[in-house]
Structure 1
Amino acid sequence: MSDISPENPIPGAHPELASLATRPYAPKSLRAIWLQIYDRLADAIERDLVAPGTKLPGEVHLADLFGVSRITVRRALALHQSEGKLQARKGVGIFVRQKPRYFEIRNDMTFADSLVADGGEISTRTLLLERGAASAEAARLFGLSPGDPVLKLHRLRMLDGAPIYVSRKEFPLARFPRFEADYAESASVVAVYRATGIAHYRRAETRVRGGLASREEADILGLTPKTPVQHVTSINRDPDGAAIELNRGCWPMSSVELVFTSDG
């Protein structure tokens, strides 16, 4: 066994985490070792001994630190990931998730305006832009026949480089015949609205429901499948009341606090 102690931790280990790790374990008959490791990690996260955004040591180092196998450590990490306390970034490592962000939902605010990022940098990655058959809900909303085409836009929002929100949008093709060209110039849906003569719009409806991340959502957001998430469905309308966008979004449950406000 390596000579590991709070004074002589492994490379990359946080000193307070090392101190928690080197405490004697209770008998396995009282609580499984992997759950005791889970408890110690939870203690470190909840007391901010390991600050939000901190990258944890790798599995090999953590196994050495806690004096157990990688499989044992992996079980403890996986439970924290499923609960949203930790976030795996593919090819990078496992991080302590940031504290929930304040996201104000008001009918005239853009995503960037709604997310108070405390100085964080918001970036966007377009995952899909294509024409395809409308979903049943979009067909009803836009007054289309089954199978009629719409514009589909899937995007990933990131905060300080970490995935925080994925959205799947549908737009009526007849209303936005130049959507692809207008979006290519700006990567902004609001700019597409304006290019089509829609100077103002309003979020007419927002529905929020809890659920579990699908495998696709988990892959995009860097979560363990079946992690608790918030699914948000919203509808944008133009000044005349016509529906111009159906949006379905997904937030990790612990990443955001949704706050509904009036227009003031």
Structure 2
Amino acid sequence: MKRWEVVRSGILNDIQARAFENGRLPGDFVLAERFGVNRHTVRNAIKALESEGALRVQHGVGTFVADDFVSHKLDSDPRFTFRLLGQNKSVKRQIISITDASVEPEIIKHLKIAPPALVTEVRSISFINDWPLATGTAYYPVERVPGLATAFEGLNSPTAALKRCGIPEYKRKWTRITARRPTQQEAQLLRISSSSPVLFETNVDVTPDGLPIKYAFSAIRSDRYEYLIESND
């Protein structure tokens, strides 16, 4: 077995054991020292693993385990799990808190409700194959989605909770994507540095008759996520 193949095998074993913290490989020098080879040999092994789809190399950023990366197709279907079908990904959402509260005018405007109407605020964090991917907050107007907090009992799925509230169908009206630095809390939840940029997504979901039922924002790890826009042509 050639030296680069030994390195390739060793890295694969580490991937399967989830040995790389946050899904990121150490630098070439560290790996070369560990395996007792030169950097060129390490790079050959990484190149082979990248071509096999096991690793993802972002030049100037680092090398990452490929199964922590998500390609998200932008369309009118808001169901995140649905969009991951066929990508061999395991998605999990953890609810951090659910409360009823009053909100700022900007959110009221997007939900088209009259103050001082209350909203159900749902804070959560999402994981892909046990790696943190996104954290955010969703706001649902209490008058349109009554009993949502109770509906979430035993569930981590907004779609399933909304069905319990009598809303079996809804769609994405719009999505806005920008980039910024994470807040201290976001960085902690996503296990990233406060200097690492995140994708910041805001969106509104509506019922089939166009009534807003959710306004949400999310901070998403930019090193694990991409948006795919396909033409209808």
TM-score when scaled to structure 2? 0.71
Report percent identity of matched pairs: 17
Q: Find the aligned partners of 1:263 and 1:117 in 2 and give their Cα distance.
A: 20
CA gap of 1:113–1:21, structure 2 versus 1, over 3 A, is: same
Quick one: structure 1 residues 203 and 181, their matched pair in 2 at CA, closer, same or farther if it must change by over 3 Å?
same
CA contact (8 A) 2:78 2:205 kept: no
Matching residue of 2:14: none
- Residues 224-239 of structure 1 aligned to structure 2 (within 5 Å): 224-239=193-208
TM-score, normalized by length of structure 1? Answer: 0.64
* Partner residue, 1:18: 32
Whole-angstrom CA distance in 2 between matches of 1:52 and 1:231: 25
What amino acid is the match of 1:254? D
- 1:201 Cα offset (Å): 0.9
Contact 2:205–2:214 (Cα < 8 Å) also in 1 = yes
Q: 2:150 aligns with which of 170, 181, 186?
A: 181
- Rg larger in structure: 1
Q: Which amino acid aligns with 1:142?
A: L
Q: How does 1:66-215 map to 2 (within 5 A)?
A: 85=62, 96-98=64-66, 100-116=69-85, 118-146=87-115, 148-215=117-184
1:19-48, Cα deviation, whole Å (9 max, x unpaired): 599799xxxxxxxxxxxxxx99x9689746
In the aligned structure 1, how far is the partner of 2:137 from the partner of 2:232? 26
Instruction: Give the residue type in structure 2 aligned to 1:17.
Output: L
Work out the CA distance in 2 between the residues paired with 1:45 and 1:216: 36
The letter for the 2-side match of 1:157 is S
Q: Which residue of 1 aligns with 2:10?
A: none
Deviation at 1:161, TM superposition (A): 0.8
TM-aligned CA distance change 1:142 to 1:101, over 3 Å: closer
The answer (yes or no) to whether the contact 1:85–1:254 under 8 Å persists in 2 is no
Partner of 1:219: 188
* Aligned partner of residue 220 in structure 2, secondary structure: strand
Change (3 A) 1:109 1:236: closer
Quickly say closer, same or farther: Cα 1:177–1:52, change in 2 above 3 A: same
Cα 1:185/1:19, change in 2 over 3 Å: closer
Q: CA RMSD in A?
A: 3.8
User: What do the CA deviations read for 1:196-227 (whole angstroms, capped 9, x no partner)?
Assistant: 32222110000001112221111010100021
| CA distance in 2 between partners of 1:263 and 1:167 (Å) | 30
1:104-162 CA distance string (max 9 Å, x none) = 12212411111257323211111111112213321112234555421111111111111
